Amino acid sequence: MARKSPVELRRMALDLHRQGHTAERIADLLGLHPGSIHYLVGRGSSHQKRAGAGH
């Protein structure tokens, strides 16, 4: 796959996520580490928002 910008990768990851693909499958399709997929689709950021909500 040709090199993509972070914005393009996030858009592609979100589209695949909405189609029901697992993080591992998305990572394989995009050539990324599976842990980075959770960051791209926002799961990591939503957890951080909830953790800081009580302060």
Residue written as tokens 């939503």?
46
Residues 16/47, Cβ–Cβ less than 8 Å: no
List the chain pLDDT tens, one digit each, 55 residues. 568 898 999 999 999 999 999 999 999 999 998 888 888 787 654 444 444 444 4
Residue written as tokens 């040709």?
2
Instruction: Give the integer Cα–Cα distance in Å for 29 and 46.
Output: 24
Q: Return the domain boundaries, the chain.
A: 20-44
What pLDDT score does 44 carry?
52
Residues 19/8, Cβ–Cβ less than 8 Å: no
Token representation of residue 36: 């980075």
